[in-house]
Amino acid sequence: MPSRTEPLRKLGFLTIGLFDEADPARGHESTLAVIELGERLGFDSAWVRHRHLQFGISSPVAVLAAATQRTRRIELGTAVIPLGWENPLRLAEDLATVDILSGGRLNPGLSVGPPWRPGHPQADHLKVALYPGTADAEDFGYGRVQRLLDHVRGKPATGFSGVEGFEVFADRVQPFSPGLGRRMWYGGASLRSARWAGEQGMNFLTSSVVRAEESEDFAQIQHSHVRAFREHHPEGGNARVSQGLVVVPTDSATPAQRAKYEAYARERTPRTRSPQGPARMLFAPDLVGPSAEIAERLYAQLAFREIHEVAFALPFTFEHEDYVQILTDIATGLGPALGWRPAG
């Protein structure tokens, strides 16, 4: 566990990749520049979020394909791809292709569930747009992840391999990328998800949101998820868990930036006081302040003391210059305060 005597092993960050509808290229270029900066600063990993019909990255695999050609060392991940929007076999082909292009640096994070929430204004429209006539027959549960895992791990997708005419066919997804199957992550917010991910031998992403099932104490809930995951994983205590919280160090921030960051966190604080919505989702407070202060607050958390790597989330809606300052302070201030040493 990270402590003052055992350093944090891996430091990563997560971005949503916002863009202006009138100028989407600028936002995507900003995301790629941030990933390049992360590599220069010595971060171990860079992760991108997934957004559909919004002004954030809708195709993280394509963005990361571009990132593979602009970086050489940093690991690249998705946190997370909601599989309800994807065909598992086609996604397996894309993931393997990008992993090959990256030299084995891809870390796909996944989640399950239907692409629409019951009662949401878009629900009926999405059913027709995504699965016309078959929406009610689709499996949006863990079975969808299992299909993807089987394809990525090289299990046969069909019963035929060989030559037909002038063409050669394989019975498993191509390209096959050895090692990718061990770098598959599940983004879970419930105890059931944590257990299931462990049983499948996946890695586990736990973020700033959990489901208030056992209690209404965020740290206690997250801690129980980490413990349950490892109890059900073949590698036990060595199974990989990454914690993703919103962390904003202000060491080198200007007065205007500090005021903006504090206002952002203050506006989001009310949702951290009690479970939200029918699903009873509970959010962690954003951590804003000097690196030394944030480090102390992290060491005080039960779940943080159970993990060896993090992927701190960059806040939404900030400017590129803000992300440069935040990442630089994480790499030069907060990371060292947690015992981390830059890669490369």
- List CB contacts of 66: < 8 A, sequence separation 6 or more: 32
Query: Which neighbouring-strand residues pair with 164?
Result: 167
CA atoms within 13 A on the CB side of 94: 18
pLDDT in tens, 86-108: 999 999 999 999 999 999 999 99
Residue whose structure tokens are 């939404």: 316
Quick: pLDDT tens for 51-65: 999 999 999 999 999
Evaluate whether 332 touches 33 at the Cβ level (below 8 Å): no
Residue 311 lies in a domain: yes
- Pick from 33, 37, 86, 36: nearest CA to 61: 86
Judge whether 5 lies within some domain: no
CA pair distance 335, 78, nearest whole angstrom: 22
Domain that holds residue 178: 10-337
Q: Is residue 196 part of a domain?
A: yes
Task: Give, for all 344 residues of the chain, the pLDDT tens digit.
Answer: 565 668 999 999 999 999 999 999 999 999 999 999 999 999 999 999 999 999 999 999 999 999 999 999 999 999 999 999 999 999 999 999 999 999 999 999 999 999 998 778 888 999 999 999 999 999 999 999 999 999 999 999 999 999 999 999 999 999 999 999 999 999 999 999 999 999 999 999 999 999 999 899 999 999 999 999 999 999 999 999 999 999 999 999 999 999 999 999 999 999 999 999 999 999 999 999 999 999 999 999 999 999 999 999 999 899 999 999 999 999 999 999 999 999 97
0.85 surpassed by pTM: yes
Answer yes or no: is 1 within a domain: no
Question: What does DSSP say about strands 281-283 and 209-211: parallel, antiparallel, or unpaired?
Answer: antiparallel
Peptide bond into 80 cis (omega under 30): yes
Number of residues that this document lists for the chain: 344
H or E element, residue 295? helix 291-299
Count the domains in the chain.
1
Can you point out the beta strands (E) in 118-223?
Answer: 162-164, 167-169, 185-187, 203-206, 209-211
C-alpha distances in Å from residue 88, one per residue of 47, 81, 111, 190: 20, 11, 12, 23
The letter for the amino acid at 173 is V
Nearest to 206 by CA among 241, 247, 246: 241
Whether 344 maps to a domain, the answer reads no
- Residue 145: closest CA among 79, 86, 190: 86
CATH number, domain containing residue 332? 3.20.20.30
